[in-house]
Amino acid sequence: MDVDTKPKPVVSVPTPDAEKPVVKAEPIAPNVEIKQNLVLIDRAVTTLEPRFTHRVLRTLTHLRKKLNDEVLSKAVEETYTKDSPAKAALFQYLSAPAAMDIDLPNGDAKPQPVVVSDPLPEGDTYIRLLILLHLSASKETTEKAMALAHETVERIQALNRRTMDAIAGKIYFYLARLYEVTDRLAEIRPLLLAAHRTATLRRDADSQATLINLLLRNYLHYNLYSQADKLVSKSTFPDSAGNPQWARYQYYLGRIHAVQLSYTQAHTELLQAIRRAPTAKTAPGFWQTVHKFFIVVELLMGDIPDRALFRQPVLRKPLEPYLQIVRAVRIGDLSHFQSALQTYTAQFQHDKSYTLILRLRHNVIKTGIRSISLAYSRISLRDICTKLSLDSEEDAEYIVGKAIRDGVVEGILDHQKGVMVCGRKGDVYSTAEPGEVFGRRIGFCLELHNESVKAMRFPLNAHRKDLASSEAAREREKSIAKGIAEGEIDDDDEMDF
Amino acid sequence: MAPPQLVANYERLKAEVVNPRADQKTIGQLLTQLKIALTEARLLIPGSNSSLEDLVLTRDVLELGAFWSVRNKDIPAFDRYFSQLQTFYVDYPTQLPPSPREYPLIGLNLIRLLTQNRIGDFHTTLETLPPNVLGENPFIQHPVHLERWLMEGSYNKVWQEREAAPSEEYKFFVDSLMKTIRREIASCEEKAYDSLPLSDAMSLLFFTKQSELMIFAQERGWNVNPSTQIIHFARKTEEKIEIPKQKIIVNSLAYAKELEQIV
């Protein structure tokens, strides 16, 4: 590859955050990288191995920062033949004049290799994706970006190539993102639904996963939870989808189920989303948002989140309002809860967790009653009333009655004397509970093991060698067996002696 | 355009609904005729080429129909009207002028969900409402408060709030709501008290006559002692803890199988 022979210096792009990642300190010029990527995509198409395409797409995030008109025009210039119509079409989207002889920063005099043919459709789409990324970065070019995205989507659907799926997913994603930025999400819904149908029919798992997530995001943006729920129940999320898409899907599911009061389910899904998400540093936004909902759902289930969660550097500041709520719930203080709720109303509404937090009110009361029942063996309803700042004794009686029925506290009410007599909770270890929990955990570990075994990759044809050696081994075994058989006779003979 | 016959019927319906002495049956018949006419004019499920006035007319008819069905306690019909109206509220929020009846109807639907104990749907509907409506609109506030108090167990407040319904139609749901509350309270009492004097039980369950309470007690199977006037609740005897043999065997076998696969 001539790519590797190129002089590598060109420290032309000293990105501001370049001092942090010390590990891979070998900045490559963006154009070189694009070229490398195109080679990789070619290889992916010829070997039908989507792994290479995925590797290319992983570089998008950091390549994105280096893109500009100059780099892109050069890339287009280098990839397409001199007068290919595709080239002219792409240059429309780039604002830099198509100056052919831009002075290259590394100023190498080596003549450009003459391009003989247009790239494969996959490569073409990749170049388009890069241009799209660049165009969507600034506000002025949003219109252009949308036009390009629409054109590309049409091309993708017309071409119908399975090797393109991964790139197609990305294109869909940025198309929807553009609509979201311009606040026109409702308009794109029909297009996404149609694309999802097509992707499902073509068994295009990558686009399918992306599109389902985009649709869910679209619905949840407008708080259309029932529609989102219907979409989830009517569609199947492809198992082979990548981790990032799974994380998003689980997060949306968690939100839907939290609204529908299936907290246990929501809890599992949000936990899965957190586990599948990239680390806090690479995707802090997602990490924070998921944790916000996770905390609220955990509170709704009656658990108190771990204090350490709020100390993580990425989470500390955005979770501050939630910390206040958690504190109020933990000590069962209604007035503290109300004041925290009022202070941060705007923040909660922005996070779309406001209505969920409103539901916490009775959890605060329940915790309050529980802590009282642990501390007192007998307490009058009036005292409960003042402790929990409830409105009246009648209310307190009903509330305590409900708490007893729901199994929050053990105890008995005495109506004539107006007191609650608290009982003792039985020993958990005398029930089947520990056994069940143990079973669940073992099940989880076993599943993890099986999943990891399934996820292992083996090099192609490597087993042939093993086969050959096993063949030899079998031969050897046979001869040994023979020997033993003969030996046995010997043994027997000896025994006779 | 809507046919003149349809418009005439619509005007008649409007007049009948306002008329306090109107015959409910006539309104019902009018509604049926209107719905048939709307279907023929392709307005019941709005397409893209319907004019604004026609859409408003359709919406009005459906809204009146929804109120009418609540007044006649025909809940399934209300359900149908309401789901047809959803299209107008959700898909045409900017084109159509806002309807004054929208939030009362949504509020009614919320109460209906509450009385049917469909709390999940209740919250899903709440999420679709903008926050300022949630906090201020009296028609929405009413069901929201009811739900909160029901969840907390402040049944006393629910009982008081019942009189403060923001519109006439809300009272039609009160009866079934009261039944729900009584059931809830009764189940709480069974757990929370050993015994309860009749008079106290009466006030706790919001009964005014002892005979009503006796019927209710019979339904729930409570043990009433006539001489001392005390209700005794049957305590559930401590259930025997059995070893779940079946489950343990199944689990152990599964572990063994999995372990074998690993080794």
Split at pLDDT 50, 70, 90, the class of B179 is confident
Q: What is the pLDDT of residues B117-157, one digit of tens each?
A: 788 888 888 888 877 777 778 888 888 888 888 888 788 88
Give backbone dihedrals phi and psi of A424, rounded to 5 degrees, phi first: -100, 145
Domain for residue A298, yes or no? no
Contact B202, B214 (CB under 8 A): no
Of A7-11, A455-459, B161-165, the range with the lowest mean pLDDT is A7-11
Residue to substitute from A398, A410, A421, A446, interface B, most B β-carbons within 10 A:
A398
Is the pLDDT confidence value at A12 over 70?
A: no
Is the pLDDT confidence value at A30 over 80?
A: no
Nearest Cα to A233, choosing from A216, A247, A248, A210?
A216
* pLDDT (mean) for A315-327: 89
User: Final residue of a domain: which of A397, A425, A453?
Assistant: A425
- Per DSSP, chain B holds a count of helices (H) and strands (E) of 13, 3
Domain for residue A365, yes or no? yes
* pLDDT (mean) for A163-188: 85
Of A254-258, A338-342, A490-494, the range with the lowest mean pLDDT is A490-494
Split at pLDDT 50, 70, 90, the class of A13 is very low
* pLDDT (mean) for A4-18: 37
Of A130-134, A162-166, B28-32, B59-63, the range with the lowest mean pLDDT is B28-32
Nearest Cα to A79, choosing from A45, A112, A48, A104?
A112
Q: Report the Cα B192 to chain-centroid distance in Å.
A: 28
* Whole-structure pTM value: 0.75
Nearest to B251 among A229, A362, A439 (CB): A439
Nearest Cα to A123, choosing from A83, A186, A70, A79?
A79
Percent of the residues in chain B that have a pLDDT greater than 70, as a whole number: 89
What is the model's pLDDT at position A117?
A: 67
* pLDDT (mean) for A423-430: 69
Q: Which two tokens stand for residue A230?
A: 């219907």
Domain for residue A340, yes or no? no
What is the model's pLDDT at position A6?
A: 37
Domain for residue A352, yes or no? no
Q: 194-223 in A: which are within 8 Å (CB) of B? A: 222-223
CB contact, 8 Å: A334 with chain B?
A: no
Split at pLDDT 50, 70, 90, the class of A251 is very high
Of A92-106, A223-237, A393-407, A482-496, the range with the lowest mean pLDDT is A92-106
Distance between CA atoms of A460 and A462, rounded to whole angstroms? 5
Q: Which residue has the higher pLDDT, B114 or A117?
A: B114
Chain mean pLDDT for chain A: 79
Split at pLDDT 50, 70, 90, the class of A209 is very high
- What's the residue count for chain B? 263
Q: Which two tokens stand for residue A104?
A: 């290259």
Chain A CB contacts of B194 below 8 Å = 412
Give backbone dihedrals phi and psi of A348, rounded to 5 degrees, phi first: -65, -40
Q: How many domains does chain A have?
A: 2
What is the model's pLDDT at position B237?
A: 54
Can you name the residues that pair with B225 across neighbouring β-strands? B230
Nearest CA in chain A to B135: A355
Q: Which CATH number characterizes residue A365's domain? A: 1.10.10.10
* pLDDT (mean) for A87-92: 75
Please report the ipTM that was assigned to this predicted complex: 0.73
Domain for residue A302, yes or no? no
Q: Quick check: A259 and B123 CB within 8 A?
A: yes
What is the model's pLDDT at position A254?
A: 94
What is the model's pLDDT at position A105?
A: 44
Which numeric CATH code is attached to B4-195?
Answer: 1.25.40.990
What is the model's pLDDT at position A122?
A: 82
CA B211-B214-B217 angle, to 5 degrees, is 155
Chain A CB contacts of B126 below 8 Å = 355
Q: What is the pLDDT of residues A51-70, one digit of tens each?
A: 888 888 888 877 877 777 77
Split at pLDDT 50, 70, 90, the class of A291 is very high
Percent of the residues in chain A that have a pLDDT greater than 90, as a whole number: 10
What is the model's pLDDT at position A489?
A: 53
User: Domain of A89?
Assistant: 27-99+115-182
Chain B CB contacts of A232 below 8 Å = none
**Minimum distance, in Å, between the CA of residue B180 and any CA atom of chain A:** 14
Percent of the residues in chain A that have a pLDDT greater than 70, as a whole number: 85
What is the model's pLDDT at position A488?
A: 58
Q: What is the pLDDT of residues A98-140, one digit of tens each?
A: 444 444 444 444 444 555 566 778 888 888 888 888 888 777 7
User: Final residue of a domain: which of A425, A447, A482?
Assistant: A425
* pLDDT (mean) for A200-210: 87
